[in-house]
Amino acid sequence: MANRAGLKKVTKTVKGQKGTVRRSYWVKASQAARKGKPVKQQKQPGFLRRHAGKIIGGIALAGAAAYGAHRLAKGLNGKPALQLGPGSSSSGHSATSGGSQSTARQQAEKRVRQAWGTARERFTEWRRGEGAKLAQHMMHVGGDAAAEHIGSHIGSRVGGAVGTAVGGGAGGAVGSFLGGHAGSFVARGRAAPHIKRGAEWVANRMQR
């Protein structure tokens, strides 16, 4: 017999009177395993074969969940949601979710409008009060500085020319110094009323 139930064919090399020969024996499978020759086991199926059912079921479940989420999103965007049948709570749930989302969006827009209105009111109060005073002060400071600079420059040029004509180089230096101060004084005096009116006009515009 080529195969014997529960037995394992073992081949050994034996030295005898006629030299080395190979002999075969039939032993129990458990005995062959104890002697260091384990019985060849049937090859186990792979991971995909062993878990094919679970994998297919998981893919189907994920696809169903994705399809349901897609239909729910379409319902929230104002399109008809998935109808499961008469008396189903799906349409009611979608309508409730859409209403909640719409209410939350309206509340957020309302808070933004309120915050913007409050900011505008506070800026208007600052503009009519401290802002107007600051603008008036800056107009005075800027106008005085500009008039002084222009008057000093013109006075220095004129005084230098006159001093040089009268007293040479030394006269020119003295004339430039005195002319600069004189021009600055005159320019500030002449420009003061105009600067004042301009500052008041700016302040009145900001207080409206």
Position 88 confidence tier, pLDDT thresholds 50, 70, 90: very low
Predicted local confidence at residue 85, as pLDDT: 47
Q: 198 φ, ψ to 5°?
A: -65, -40
Would the pLDDT of 181 be above 80?
Answer: yes
Would the pLDDT of 11 be above 80?
Answer: yes
Residues 166-175: pLDDT tens digits? 888 888 888 8
What Å distances lie between residue 132 and 18, 66, 202, CA to CA? 128, 61, 8
Higher pLDDT, 32 or 5: 5
Residues 111-166: pLDDT tens digits? 998 999 899 889 988 888 888 889 889 988 888 899 889 988 998 889 889 888 88
Predicted local confidence at residue 87, as pLDDT: 47
pTM over 0.85: no
Position 79 confidence tier, pLDDT thresholds 50, 70, 90: very low
Predicted local confidence at residue 10, as pLDDT: 81
Please identify which residue in the block is written with the tokens 């013109």. Answer: 154
Please identify which residue in the block is written with the tokens 């005085």. Answer: 144
Candidates 99, 63, 66, 94; CA nearest to 81 is: 94
Percent of the chain at pLDDT > 90 equals: 3
How large is the average pLDDT for residues 167-184? 87
List CB contacts of 81: < 8 A, sequence separation 6 or more: 71, 72, 74, 75, 90, 91, 94, 95
Residues 21-76: pLDDT tens digits? 888 878 776 665 555 555 455 555 666 666 666 777 777 777 777 767 666 666 55
Predicted local confidence at residue 112, as pLDDT: 92
The burial class, CB within 10 Å (0-12 / 13-18 / 19+), for 131 is middle
Would the pLDDT of 101 be above 50?
Answer: yes
How large is the average pLDDT for residues 70-83? 54
